[in-house]
Amino acid sequence: MIKKNISPTQSPTPALPQREGVANKTNAFRNGSAPSIWGRVGVELWLLLCLALSGCIEPYEAEIDGIDSILVVEGMITSGITQINLTKSIEIQDDFYRYMWNGNEDLIYVNNASVYVECDDGSHSEAAHSSGKGVYLIETGELNVNAKYRLAIHVDDEVYHSGFLAPTISQPVELSYRINYEYFKNDKNEVDTLINSTDVFVSTQGYERHPGYYLWSYKEDWEYHAPMFSFFHPYYCWGKDSSRVFILGSTERLSENTIRGQKLLTIYGTDNKLSSRYRIRVKQNSIHKEAYDYFNNQKKNSERSGSLFGIIPSELMGNIRCTSNPSVYVIGYVDVSTATDNELYLTRSECFNPQSELWIWKTCSEAEEPALSCIDCTWYGGTVKRPEDWKNE
């Protein structure tokens, strides 16, 4: 893994603004491994949608019996540790959250598989077994750029394989940020409110002769404090989060094979992520064009349906096949890629006016009897456990 530390610098206005991916406040880390875009579980299917609608004038209700419980494979073969997530689809009539609330999550997660990576020279990794919630961690070691690899899955008396692919080589990734100011005026045309936000950008350069296709993901950690100090409650806390959407980029239509200022996310001044100190770690995978098209179609599909648990059309079947029984459906695309990463630390004084304060600080300071939210930092969802690799200022 290539890792390059940089000093935070402000970025120029990005030449190619992209749709941003903003993380939610739900912990999606799994044993410190790959971000949660590989951990999405539960997919509603309507595989016959296109066939049902094509050429039909009268309304037609597609026959979808028997297409639930399709294996869904998510992950990417890479150097070091490869994380694969296995889940089962659910019918479009069913609701993912109803499954979870009723304690039926075993119907979603696939925990009884044996998963390993094969090389075209006949060698293979040790078989991995589920560590829980359909997550499989495979020790793949260093990938040989002159070899080809594929994923093998044995589950429920069936065997599944992805296609053999040579690993793509990811170039170094650079991080930068930009501070935004937005002023709001009152009825007297006086500046009444100042809203700050911080954008984080990624830049990279690919090979000269071939267009580059990229997939980015990130993990966030931040230190924050309770608004008021108390001897009887925790004051220092740390929060964490990760990317929730596919963040893709391509130089296919650019005059040069360089991406400058691809926006990853925006951190708003009302968020406690920058109330003290913040870190973002970005992983960049250079991917094959077929993988880019697959993930891009999946992203568009999730945007149309409003969720990654939306309808999955047939063109998103991917490069996984059931080799023991070709009539068995399976969904997913497993690419083979090396990865590069980088990290960026930011402090509140770098991104905001040091005299500004979060609304909760002012609310607590004016309260006669402070609420628990004023004196206990865990009230905001964080933990008192400091990240082991957290760097001091």
pLDDT digits (tens, 9 = 90+) for 134-171: 999 999 999 999 999 999 999 999 999 999 999 998 88
Question: What range does the domain containing 333 cover?
Answer: 29-380
Question: Which residues are 337's β-sheet partners?
Answer: 168
23 part of a folded domain: no
Residue 320 CA to residue 73 CA, distance in Å, equals: 8
Residue whose C-alpha is closest to residue 220's, from 268, 267, 176: 267
Split at pLDDT 50, 70, 90, the class of 126 is very high
Query: Three-state DSSP class for 243?
Result: coil
- Which amino acid does the sequence have at 171? Q
Do the strands 335-336 and 258-268 form a parallel or antiparallel pair, or are they unpaired? unpaired
174 part of a folded domain: yes
pLDDT digits (tens, 9 = 90+) for 309-342: 444 555 567 899 999 999 998 999 999 999 999 9
Task: Give the torsion sign (CA, 348, 349, 350, 352).
Answer: positive
Q: Three-state SS string across 144-161, please?
A: CCCCCEEEEEEECCEEEE
Highest mean pLDDT among 24-33, 235-244, 299-308, 351-360: 235-244
Residue 66 CA to residue 70 CA, distance in Å, equals: 9
* Cα Rg of the chain, angstroms: 23
388 part of a folded domain: no
Other C-beta atoms closer than 10 Å to the C-beta of 92 total 21
195 part of a folded domain: yes
Mean pLDDT (the chain) is: 77
| pLDDT of res. 373 | 86
Split at pLDDT 50, 70, 90, the class of 107 is low
pLDDT digits (tens, 9 = 90+) for 181-194: 877 667 777 765 66
Residue 339 CA to residue 168 CA, distance in Å, equals: 9
149 part of a folded domain: yes
392 part of a folded domain: no
21 part of a folded domain: no
Query: Which one is predicted more confidently, 301 or 133?
Result: 133
Q: Which residue has the tokens 């969802």?
A: 381
Spatial contact of 122 and 75, defined as CB atoms under 8 Å apart:
no
273 part of a folded domain: yes
pLDDT digits (tens, 9 = 90+) for 260-295: 999 999 998 778 898 889 999 999 999 999 999 999
Instruction: Check pLDDT > 50 for residue 47.
Output: no
Residue 351 CA to residue 304 CA, distance in Å, equals: 34
Query: Which one is predicted more confidently, 38 or 268?
Result: 268
Query: Three-state DSSP class for 12?
Result: coil
Query: Token digits for 115?
Result: 């998963």
Query: Which one is predicted more confidently, 66 or 273?
Result: 273
Measured in residues, the chain has a length of 393
The total domain count for the chain is 1
Burial of residue 317 (number of CB atoms within 10 Å: 0-12, 13-18, 19+): middle
Q: What is the pTM of this model?
A: 0.74
Residue 126 CA to residue 149 CA, distance in Å, equals: 14
